[in-house]
Chain A
Amino acid sequence: MTLSAITQQSVGAGIFSSAFLLSILIWLPVIVAVGIAIMPNPRGRYDTLIKQIAFFANLVTMFILFIAYNQFENFLPTMQYEEKIAWLPAIGVTYHLGVDGPGIAMLMLSGLVGIASVLASIGIRERVRTYFALLLLAQASVNGAIVARDMFVLILFWGASIVPIALLILGWGGPRRVGAAWRLVGYWGLGTAALAVGVLALYAVTGGRTFDMDTLLGTAQPPRIQIGVSIAMIVAGATRLPLFPLHGWLRDALAEAPVGVAVVVSGAASRLGAFLLLRVVIGAEPAAAHLLSPVLAALAALTVGYAALAAIRSVDIRHAGAYLAMVPGGITLLGLAAISPLGIAGSVLSLFTGGLAAALIAGVCATVSERAQTRSLLLLSGLAPRMPNIAWIFLLAAFALLGVPVFASFASEVMTFFGAFKTQPIGAFAVAIGLAITAVALAALLGRVLFGSPNSDAPGVSDAALGETWYLGILAGALLWIGLFPGGPKIPGTDTPLFDPGFVSQIAAGVSDITSNYTLPASAAPAAQ
Chain B
Amino acid sequence: MPVLLIAPFASFLLALSSVRTRRSASATAMFGTVVSLLLTLLVAWGLARRSTPYVASYQYINMSVAFSGPTNFQTFAINLVFHVDHLTVIALLVIEVCVIAAIGWHQLMGRSEPGAARFHALITLLLFACTGVLVSWDLAELFGFWALAGALTYLLLTHRWGFDEAASRARIALALPFLTDLSLLCGIAWLYARYGTQNLATLLPILHTNPGWTVRSIVVGSVLLFVGVAGRLALWPLSGWLSMTSATAPTAASAIAQSAWPVVGMVVLYRLTPIFAASNRQTLQAFLVACAVSAVIAGATSLVGNGPRRVITLAGSGAVAVAAAVVINGAYHQPATFAIAGVAAVLAVAPARAAALLAASTIANAMRTDDMAEMGEAWRRMRASSGALLASAIVIGLAASGALAFGVSSRSRLGIALGEAVLLLAVGAIRVFVGASFGILRRRRAFDPDRVREPEGARGFPYWLAVAGAALLVASFLTGWLNFLDGQKHPAAGPLAIALWAAVAIVGFAACALVFTRDKDGALALSAFGGGFLGRYAAGGLGVVDRFLVEPTTDAGHRVSDWIAAGDGALGRFATASGQLALAAGRGPALPIVVGLAIVLAVVFALVAPGIAR
Contacts and interface: CB of A to CB of B under 8 A. Distances in A.
B522 interface: no
B112 interface: no
B567 to A, nearest CB: 7
A470 interface: no
Given A313-B554, A487-B60, A512 B67 contact: yes
Interface of B: 59-74, 76, 78, 114, 140, 143-145, 147-148, 150-151, 155, 158, 160-164, 166-168, 170-172, 174-175, 178-179, 182-183, 185-186, 188-190, 192-198, 202, 206, 209-212, 553-558, 560-561, 564-565, 567-569, 571-572
Contacts of A450: 161, 167
A251 interface: yes
A435 B182 contact: yes
Nearest to A74: B64
B140 to A, nearest CB: 6
Interface of A: 179, 182-183, 186, 245, 247-248, 251-252, 306, 309-310, 312-313, 340-342, 344-345, 382, 384-385, 391, 395, 399, 402-406, 410-411, 413-415, 417-422, 425, 428-429, 432, 435-436, 439-440, 442-444, 446-448, 450-454, 486-487, 504-505, 508, 511-512, 515-516, 519-522, 524-529
Given A382-B162, A411-B61, A439-B174, A425 B190 contact: yes
B557 A487 contact: no
A512 B76 contact: no
B350 to A, nearest CB: 24
A335 B196 CA distance: 17
Nearest to B68: A519
B70 A525 contact: yes
B71 A444 contact: no
Contacts of B571: 186
Interface centre among B60, B70, B150, B170 (most CB of A within 10 A): B70
Given A248-B564, A447-B167, A525 B61 contact: no
A391 B69 CA distance: 47
Nearest to A433: B182
A414 B140 contact: yes
A313 B558 contact: yes
A527 B76 CA distance: 16
Nearest to B71: A528
Contact of B174 (A443, A522, A528): A443
A481 B607 CA distance: 67
B182 to A, nearest CB: 5
B186 A405 contact: no
Given A505-B63, A516-B68, A525-B71, A454 B554 contact: no
B65 A452 contact: no
Given A345-B65, A435-B182, A505-B63, A447 B171 contact: yes
Contacts of A415: 63, 76
Contacts of A418: 76, 140, 188-189, 192-193, 198
A186 B71 contact: no
Nearest to B221: A421
Contacts of B69: 341, 519-522, 525
A351 B164 CA distance: 37
A312 B17 CA distance: 35
Interface centre among B69, B78, B168, B197 (most CB of A within 10 A): B69
Contact of A527 (B183, B211, B556): B211
Contact of A432 (B68, B151, B186, B193): B186
B197 A529 contact: yes
Going nearest first, the 8 A-B pairs with the smallest beta carbon separation are: A519-B69, A309-B557, A525-B70, A451-B167, A422-B193, A405-B144, A341-B66, A341-B65
B178 A439 contact: yes
A527 B195 CA distance: 9
Contacts of A442: 174
A448 B161 CA distance: 11
A182 B575 CA distance: 12
Nearest to A314: B558
A504 B61 contact: yes
B174 A436 contact: no
Contact of A309 (B150, B198, B554): B554
A451 B170 contact: yes
Nearest to B209: A527
A162 to B, nearest CB: 16
A179 B80 CA distance: 51
A180 to B, nearest CB: 11
A395 B155 contact: yes
A310 B72 contact: no
A406 B572 CA distance: 45
A452 B167 contact: yes
Contact of B65 (A440, A511, A528): A511
A512 B70 contact: no
A452 B178 contact: no
A395 B156 CA distance: 13
A310 B561 contact: yes
A302 to B, nearest CB: 10
A312 B553 CA distance: 10
A369 B592 CA distance: 57
B185 to A, nearest CB: 6
B195 A515 contact: no
Given A452-B167, A526-B206, A519 B561 contact: no
B206 A527 contact: yes
B61 A486 contact: yes
Contacts of B167: 382, 447-448, 450-453
A340 B76 CA distance: 12
B63 A345 contact: yes
A344 B163 CA distance: 44
A512 B196 CA distance: 17
A486 B60 contact: yes
A252 B565 CA distance: 9
A526 B212 contact: yes
B175 A443 contact: yes
A522 B70 contact: yes
A487 B65 CA distance: 14
Contacts of A521: 69
A247 B572 CA distance: 16
A524 B166 contact: no
Contact of A417 (B150, B175, B185, B565): B185
A100 to B, nearest CB: 14
Contact of A384 (B62, B143, B161, B197): B161
Contact of A306 (B71, B190, B212, B560): B560
Contacts of A405: 143-145, 147-148
A516 B69 CA distance: 9
A448 B73 CA distance: 44
Given A345-B65, A428-B189, A432-B183, 6 more contacts: A248-B568, A310-B554, A313-B555, A452-B168, A521-B69, A529-B202
A301 B138 CA distance: 28
Contacts of B178: 402, 436, 439
A521 B185 CA distance: 27
Given A422-B193, A450-B161, A515 B564 contact: no
A251 B557 CA distance: 13
Contacts of B170: 443, 447, 451
A188 to B, nearest CB: 13
Interface centre among A428, A436, A444, A448 (most CB of B within 10 A): A436
Nearest to B572: A182
A309 B552 CA distance: 10
6 contacts: A182-B572, A313-B554, A414-B143, A418-B188, A421-B186, A529-B197
Given A182-B572, A382-B161, A422-B193, A414 B185 contact: yes
Given A309-B553, A453-B164, A516 B210 contact: no
B206 A447 contact: no
B298 to A, nearest CB: 23
A453 B171 contact: no
Interface centre among A251, A439, A487, A526 (most CB of B within 10 A): A526
A410 B179 contact: no
A522 B72 CA distance: 10
Interface centre among B114, B186, B193, B564 (most CB of A within 10 A): B193
